[in-house]
Chain A
């Protein structure tokens, strides 16, 4: 789910940046350091929406290096998977254990145990797709699927979620052909 929250971040500024454009430099550095980052509890920082001017307090000089540490508060647009939420995702890769789908930068794995009974044995290695017994449902790279989040892990700066399409009204939405490459 996408949400907006105020977060704070420490920026270390070297003296070479001091001058009239100090604030602008701080904002630029903040965006460079924080946008795209996966924060363990808050999710991916998609975009820095605003850095209120009055929230940039005075910096503290670090005596060892001469640099100044600024604690900056900013409003960010974040993406975080919440347990039991239902999301639409784009399938990227199928393998014999299940398939990977993405919601933007967020990777979600759906194991074959979380697929409906009639898809459990449906992995087709040649087509690289999961196909139901009646051949009606084909989940391949580029397909859109509706899934429910069951769990979440954070590793090496990336967030991976575990999903299921076993429940009612979940599963294939479109085959992605009308969308072009994702």
Chain B
């Protein structure tokens, strides 16, 4: 069943996720890695086999997380990631009208997944078009927050 292009269009670039996805909790790859690790330990302790989909996802998140450091204490990395997510979710910018803009959970997850230490504003906006509603200085601030967390985790 192919998605009907004329149906209420889902377009994450404009932060339209579809009506069933309004209140979901979105996770970044790094957070998924943490959940799966905990769940794997639990399953192994009960001698259960991990299913195929599970193992594929675990391989995927372990490969594509820029925010990991095998030499660091696991809990330390988890705390840094939680702090980063809190910082991004709490990020507020006042617009000219006096309204406050904040980051949508989809943007927070995308930022945590895609941004590296050398990502510039132009690239971030190309990858996450909905960020264009923020002024450049604000986006730079956001990237800075992420950059410093990555550096802290990786060093």
Using a CB–CB cutoff of 8 Å, the interface residues on chain A facing chain B are 1-5, 35-36, 40-42, 44-47, 49, 77, 79, 82-88, 90, 102-105, 144, 146, 151-155, 167-169, 179, 182
Contacts and interface: CB of A to CB of B under 8 A. Distances in A.
**Interface residue tally of chain B, by bracket?**
35 or more
A168 B59 CA distance: 27
B138 interface: no
Given A82-B10, A82-B17, A77 B35 contact: yes
B126 to A, nearest CB: 5
A47 B64 contact: no
Nearest to A77: B35
Contacts of A146: 114, 127
A90 B53 contact: no
Main secondary structure of the interface of A (DSSP, over half): strand
A84 B9 CA distance: 11
Given A2-B26, A82-B10, A168-B126, A36 B106 contact: no
A154 B1 CA distance: 6
Interface of B: 1-3, 9-14, 17, 20-21, 24-29, 31-32, 35-36, 39, 51-54, 56-57, 59-61, 63-64, 106, 109-110, 113-114, 123, 126-129
B150 to A, nearest CB: 15
B11 A36 contact: no
B2 A36 contact: no
A105 B63 contact: no
